[in-house]
Structure 1
Amino acid sequence: MSTSIAIAPVAHSKRRWRRIRLALSAGLLLAGVFAAWVVSLGPLPLASARQVSTAIVDRNGKLLRAYAMADGRWRLPVDARTGVDPGYLKLLLAYEDRRFRSHAGVDPFALGRAALQLMTRGHIVSGGSTITMQLARLMEPRRERSVYAKLRQVVRALEIERQLNKDQILDLYLALAPFGGNLEGVRAASIAYFGKEPKRLSLAEAALLVALPQSPESRRVDRYPDVARAARDRVLDRMVEDGRVPHEDAAQAKATPVPRLRKPLPILAPHSADQAVATVKDAPVIALTLDSSLQKVLEALARDRAAALGPNISVAILAVDNESGDVLAHIGSPDYFDDRRAGQVDMTRAVRSPGSTLKPFIYGLAFEDGLVHPESLIDDRPIRFGSYAPENFDMTFQGTVPVRKALQLSLNVPAIALLDCVGASRLSSRLKQAGASLVLPKDEVPGLAMGLGGVGVTLQDLVQLYSGLARLGNTRPLREIVNAKDDPRDSLRLMDQVAAWQVGSVLMGTPPPENAPHNRIAFKTGTSYGYRDAWSVGFDGRITIGVWVGRPDGAPVPGLVGRTAAAPILFDAFARTGKLPAALPKPPKGALVASNAKLPLPLRRFRPIGELVRTGGEQAPHIQFPLNGSRIDVTGSAGAQFSAMPVKVAGGVLPMTMLVNGVSVGEFDGRRQRMVDPPGPGFARLTVIDATGAADTVVIRIQ
């Protein structure tokens, strides 16, 4: 009897330990299965979740254009701290996840409430999902709503919280949340529905954006506006119940109608955007130097003027900041989607004949060489250069005129006469040195015809050259894409400061188009042969703007003239910048401001090289060395530069004065010789003036 009593507790104990071992084994098995299942989920798909539409923004971060993702979705990058209305964020978190900042991805209270509602009401009332759990579902979209799917979200939410901080989680959610159709993210939705960035939202707009992601397709405002409105109002009612929104504010928000149509996403500066995307690969945001406000008004100007000029006519406008070389507005065509005007062709990059727009640079080099002064007299009369006989646009001649007037009236003969002295090759090399890519006809070298448009150039290069005049003789390569690194662009030499200032002073007095203000901007017009291109480029102390008008296919347009077609657009463009024209730089040191009568004798009237200036006697000075057009090597065999260069003169009445590039360097000795310090590599103009005012000049190249 005693033996059986002792055995019973032992058997019971063994059974209990067996059950414990079985439970532990089952638990371990379930844990192993759960762990294996978690491992099978794989890593978080963060890379694909972070993919967004490429956004092109202006210098102030405003959206110019966005490109849809490969599958057609619009998903714009967003920063919750700087790019979203704080009121919307408060509303979102209060409605969706009030403990977002404190929980670890899963809110036990919300899950418990959801489970209790399911048991008591028999259906799902609220999902209990946190923002992090919703993000997990958006990263791995699944249609079913089951315990398995919820468990998966829980696991993923915990993983997300371990790898990302709260701000990163919120940014990803705001970029991925669905808003109907192909709109993803609050930024794309705000632009499409309200036509603005989500930085400042009304209470009605914020409530609508909170409501839509819960059921984005059935609440699409462009299909079911009444359903969307009801959902918005429920959000407002909930916020009133929670004491987060005053009843009066909610009532006012409810009275606001919801939008019923989607607005198109902005497409500003499409040519610049296309170029940026082709240049910068795989960047979610590309910042340009453009000013979206100026871009918008100038695009409207180009569109209106092209319509007024007639079918098939295109207009291109480029505006550049003089100091930095940054492009502020870039209009490649009046309408990017207009096939008749080849709208997708960027005419700011097209090589076209510049007409007379290169003349200011001919005059600038002539000023630099001391050939003429703005108040010098020059002949506008029939002349022949070999077989080439230039004529003026109106087929008339003005006779003897001041150089200033010759440039302002764009007379052809004086410009070609100066180019003959300056040298077409020298003009070409100087413009290329300043950053312009000139295109000559095949197998041709620079000739006198390039002064009247016998060469190809782009509007971009032309604007860069003219901005060099505003910068007193040096250009800066244009820039459109903002580089996060240091800007390596160096200034390029165009001409000396005095010459550039003189050109700007002359162009400031160019007669403006009808009804336009005088002496506000320095500008020049041009018309290519056959009326194919009309140009106008102008600058003030702040910006340079260039305008091209013509047909993209190069066909002639009878009556298309720069002064009547392009110049009015130029003046309107300056007016639409919203700022008064800035003053040009003051005269630099060494600038000679004088009337013709007070100029040195050689500068009072232009004479070609080799034509001696005489005062009546036969003993006019003549430079014997160096010869006109010669090349002088001022470096020795060891590479050292000689300290002086000899100049010898025959004839003339002592004392005689020596000028180098228009600047006096002293008098000749009794033997009519003088040593001159070489001014540096490049062309130099040597002039000698004797006591009677007689003079001679040569141009040499120092190397």
Structure 2
Amino acid sequence: MRRSRSRHDRRPRDPARRAGRRIISAALGLLLIGATADTARDAFWRWIDATPLPMLAVQTGTEVLARDGSLLRAFQVEDGLWRLAPPAAGVDQRFQKMLIAWEDQRFDEHDGVDPRAVIRAGLQALRHGRIVSGASTLSMQTARLLERGPTADWGGKLRQARLAMALERRIGKEGVLGLYLRLAPYGGNTEGVRAASLMWFGKEPTRLTPAESALLVALPQAPEARRPDIAERRDTALLARNRVIDRAETAGILDAEAADLAREAALPTKRRAFPKHAALMSERLRRENPGALRIETTIDPQLQRTAEALAARAVANMSDRVSAAAIVADHRNGEILAEIGTAAYGDTPRDGFVDMTRALRSPGSTLKPFVYALGFDDGLIHPETLIEDRPAIFGRWQPQNFDRHFRGTVTIRRALQESLNIPVVRVAEALGPARIMAVLRRAGMQVEVQGGTPGLALVLGGAGISLRDLVGGYAALARGGQTIELREQPFAGDEPDSTRLVSPAAAWQIGSILSKLAPPQGRQAGRVAYKTGTSYGHRDALAVGFDGRFVAGVWLGRADGTPVPGAFGGDVAAPVLFDLFDILGPRRKPLPPPPPETLVAANPQLPLPLRRFTPAGGMSAGAATGLAMLPASDPLTIVFPPDGAELEMTSESIPVRLRGGVPPYTWLLNGAPAAVASPDVATQITGAPGISELTVTDSTGTTRRARLRMIRP
């Protein structure tokens, strides 16, 4: 006789079978509600509509977009997640079909819960003694992602089902799918299909290959276990992806050939960094537009990427602390097309968090064109006006040319092209530094000088100005003297007022002079009007220029202001400037012809007052107030060796000494340079045995000679 078992010695029921019975019971309950009277059904849906909903506004990161809508830079949300809104162009339709075929084949038919799937999952659990397949719809998965709470318990599943049906009634199928596309987990701190597509494929999910779509469908089910960038998990990722491809082929989404090709496609082997183009500009715009999710810009994405590569290449062979900055703009409308604030963004030796397009730095000689343009407008000078490039004292200041050589009498054209210092200071002295400062600021250049009061040193770089403002000033010259505001965002309202900086004729004359400068590296002359600059101590190397449509500027140096020995604007910045114009290609326009009122004439044909520069008051050059020619105390004389001397050579060099004249001095031995631009009256030169001729020339052009014979002892 069999003994009946008591309540205490019964075997525990199988959890999977118990779950299966509950699932079936829930499905039957849902079916029963659908089949009951209208009153009960209405009460059920009122209960669904009363479901407390979590916040449906999913936070996504700020996006800074190029002019074509492509992503320049994305920012993480506050909790450190990479989560982005689906692209404006939409997500690949084939991906969405594959997602529905894999996750929820009757997505378009049910109300948030699929009773058929519930019954199937319950029967499978009863039959196999374990949970074989889930019954969660896409709507239920979205509900779980929204709540971010535990759902393994029975109560959690019911809450999920209620919320899923409430979501469908509130926001519809498209709204539910949109939430899923934002919230689906893809491992680590990445959520949403757009962030995942950028991370795994480096592309927007608007157009995906079948293999890419299948991987993005498979990953959310087990994002860490299926990571294709980890060798031990690649097989798992491959199997999961190929099962999705199999389902897509069965559903008719892919034909056999496309499915075979997709199965053969390689998996990505690494996670990609999110785009960070125009990184510093993007950070600034996000600060200036708090709360904005999409920030549109005028940046040309291809030009931006190429310009960033040019900046990185420019400093590649220099000290690892040298950085670079560049701006390219369309001076017809002021739109900035490329903006590079650093050669290497990030916490790098190049100070990659410092935006050198906005930093105040010395402009070197790049302000000289504005001085001459004002002189043209005032009738003080013409490009063919003669002016003195000789040593002079301005008050207690005695400027020199960069190479310490003086050219004597030159034209204004030559003085600007060779960037001579004395002529531009003479013109600036006649105009007045306060007026020059006012005109520069009228052009939108926030020029800062020590003490606040400008002096003549302003025109030789003795001031602080940003690259952005400098490029804006050159844009005015390119536009015939009419100012324009540079901008990296489309105008939301009316365009700002423009003011006249200089006359069209003066602006054209400047462009004509600068376009005749020999371009670097043998490029064609006459296409770009440009000026270079090197600040005192080689702290800043600059080049700024324009053609008939574009204006651009380049800066190289160290962000901390430390000198970069040997860095000249013409050597390091100008080649990058011309590279920028080269990549603009067929969009470029030639420089314009002269305005009708422009006086184009040689010096002898000029009106008498314009033939030679004479400051206000009619005094000769060098005699204006505060200006005096530097006197030579004694006539230039070679003291040693005297003419006809015979010297024994005890070494390869011999001492030479002179008296009088105006420094610097240049020594020649038999016509070859022996000591160039020497500031001292005594120096050493290298000679050889035999009869030689020694020549010295001072800065005024005065020359003395001595013949000597050098012999071995």
TM-score (norm 2): 0.77
**Do structure 1's residue 611 and structure 2's residue 621 form an aligned pair?**
no
Q: 1:566 deviation in Å?
A: 1.4
Q: How many residues align?
A: 583
Pick from 43, 63, 75 the counterpart of residue 67 of structure 1: 75
Distance between the aligned counterparts of 1:379 and 1:97, measured in 2?
86
**2:708 matched residue in structure 1:** none
For residues 102 and 371 of structure 1, do their structure 2 counterparts lie closer, same or farther at Cα, with a shift above 3 Å needed?
farther
Structure-to-structure mapping, 1:167-566, within 5 angstroms: 167-223=174-230, 224-442=233-451, 444-482=452-490, 485-566=492-573
The amino acid of 2:501's aligned partner reads: L
Distance between the aligned counterparts of 1:146 and 1:60, measured in 2?
48
Distance between the aligned counterparts of 2:619 and 2:55, measured in 1?
84
**2:160 matched residue in structure 1:** 153
Given that residues 144 and 151 in structure 2 are in contact (C-alpha distance below 8 angstroms), is that contact kept between their aligned partners in structure 1?
A: no
**1:129 matched residue in structure 2:** 136
Structure 1 residues 12-67: Cα deviation after superposition (integer angstroms, max 9, x where no partner): xxxxxxxxxxxxxxx9xx999999997996333213xx101222222212112222
The amino acid of 1:69's aligned partner reads: V
For residues 159 and 488 of structure 1, do their structure 2 counterparts lie closer, same or farther at Cα, with a shift above 3 Å needed?
farther
**1:88 matched residue in structure 2:** 95
- DSSP 3-state at the match of 2:337: strand
- DSSP 3-state at the match of 1:100: coil
The gaps in structure 1 that reach 5 residues or longer are 1-26, 614-627, 629-703
- DSSP 3-state at the match of 2:584: coil
Distance between the aligned counterparts of 2:176 and 2:513, measured in 1?
61
Distance between the aligned counterparts of 1:559 and 1:220, measured in 2?
50
- Runs of 4+ aligned residues of structure 1 deviating over 6 Å after TM superposition are 30-40
Distance between the aligned counterparts of 1:555 and 1:414, measured in 2?
29
Given that residues 429 and 456 in structure 2 are in contact (C-alpha distance below 8 angstroms), is that contact kept between their aligned partners in structure 1?
A: yes
Given that residues 57 and 65 in structure 1 are in contact (C-alpha distance below 8 angstroms), is that contact kept between their aligned partners in structure 2?
A: yes
Given that residues 355 and 526 in structure 1 are in contact (C-alpha distance below 8 angstroms), is that contact kept between their aligned partners in structure 2?
A: yes
Distance between the aligned counterparts of 1:495 and 1:109, measured in 2?
80
Distance between the aligned counterparts of 1:580 and 1:67, measured in 2?
32
Given that residues 225 and 259 in structure 1 are in contact (C-alpha distance below 8 angstroms), is that contact kept between their aligned partners in structure 2?
A: no
Q: 1:339 deviation in Å?
A: 3.2
**1:54 matched residue in structure 2:** 62
The amino acid of 1:231's aligned partner reads: A
Q: 1:356 deviation in Å?
A: 0.6
Q: Which moved more, 1:500-509 or 1:125-134?
A: 125-134
Given that residues 473 and 496 in structure 1 are in contact (C-alpha distance below 8 angstroms), is that contact kept between their aligned partners in structure 2?
A: yes
Distance between the aligned counterparts of 1:507 and 1:540, measured in 2?
11
Q: 1:146 deviation in Å?
A: 4.3
- DSSP 3-state at the match of 2:350: coil
The amino acid of 1:282's aligned partner reads: G
The gaps in structure 2 that reach 5 residues or longer are 1-36, 626-713
Q: Which moved more, 1:572-581 or 1:562-571?
A: 572-581
Q: 1:477 deviation in Å?
A: 1.9
Q: 1:460 deviation in Å?
A: 0.9
Given that residues 540 and 584 in structure 1 are in contact (C-alpha distance below 8 angstroms), is that contact kept between their aligned partners in structure 2?
A: yes
- DSSP 3-state at the match of 2:543: strand
Distance between the aligned counterparts of 1:549 and 1:248, measured in 2?
54
Structure 1 residues 578-619: Cα deviation after superposition (integer angstroms, max 9, x where no partner): 446421233234222333333333333322122289xxxxxx
- DSSP 3-state at the match of 1:56: strand
Given that residues 48 and 166 in structure 2 are in contact (C-alpha distance below 8 angstroms), is that contact kept between their aligned partners in structure 1?
A: no
Structure 1 residues 138-171: Cα deviation after superposition (integer angstroms, max 9, x where no partner): 1012343344333222221222223324333322
**2:55 matched residue in structure 1:** 45
Distance between the aligned counterparts of 1:591 and 1:93, measured in 2?
71
Given that residues 384 and 411 in structure 2 are in contact (C-alpha distance below 8 angstroms), is that contact kept between their aligned partners in structure 1?
A: yes
Given that residues 70 and 301 in structure 2 are in contact (C-alpha distance below 8 angstroms), is that contact kept between their aligned partners in structure 1?
A: yes
Given that residues 435 and 492 in structure 1 are in contact (C-alpha distance below 8 angstroms), is that contact kept between their aligned partners in structure 2?
A: no
Structure 1 residues 669-700: Cα deviation after superposition (integer angstroms, max 9, x where no partner): xxxxxxxxxxxxxxxxxxxxxxxxxxxxxxxx
For residues 32 and 512 of structure 1, do their structure 2 counterparts lie closer, same or farther at Cα, with a shift above 3 Å needed?
closer
Distance between the aligned counterparts of 2:596 and 2:123, measured in 1?
87
Distance between the aligned counterparts of 2:56 and 2:253, measured in 1?
34
**1:666 matched residue in structure 2:** none
The amino acid of 1:85's aligned partner reads: D
Q: 1:126 deviation in Å?
A: 3.5
TM-score (norm 1): 0.78
The amino acid of 1:441's aligned partner reads: Q
Q: 1:317 deviation in Å?
A: 1.2
Given that residues 521 and 581 in structure 1 are in contact (C-alpha distance below 8 angstroms), is that contact kept between their aligned partners in structure 2?
A: no
Q: 1:120 deviation in Å?
A: 4.2
**1:675 matched residue in structure 2:** none
Given that residues 520 and 581 in structure 1 are in contact (C-alpha distance below 8 angstroms), is that contact kept between their aligned partners in structure 2?
A: no
The amino acid of 2:456's aligned partner reads: L
Distance between the aligned counterparts of 1:531 and 1:215, measured in 2?
57
Distance between the aligned counterparts of 1:39 and 1:240, measured in 2?
38
Structure 1 residues 289-339: Cα deviation after superposition (integer angstroms, max 9, x where no partner): 222222211212111221212232121111122122222222111112253
Distance between the aligned counterparts of 1:264 and 1:523, measured in 2?
37
**Do structure 1's residue 597 and structure 2's residue 604 form an aligned pair?**
yes
- DSSP 3-state at the match of 1:163: helix
Structure 1 residues 541-564: Cα deviation after superposition (integer angstroms, max 9, x where no partner): 222111111121212222221111
- DSSP 3-state at the match of 2:325: strand
The amino acid of 1:305's aligned partner reads: A
For residues 112 and 589 of structure 1, do their structure 2 counterparts lie closer, same or farther at Cα, with a shift above 3 Å needed?
farther
Structure 1 residues 389-438: Cα deviation after superposition (integer angstroms, max 9, x where no partner): 33211112222222222111111111111112222111100111111111
For residues 350 and 254 of structure 1, do their structure 2 counterparts lie closer, same or farther at Cα, with a shift above 3 Å needed?
same
**RMSD, aligned α-carbons:** 2.8
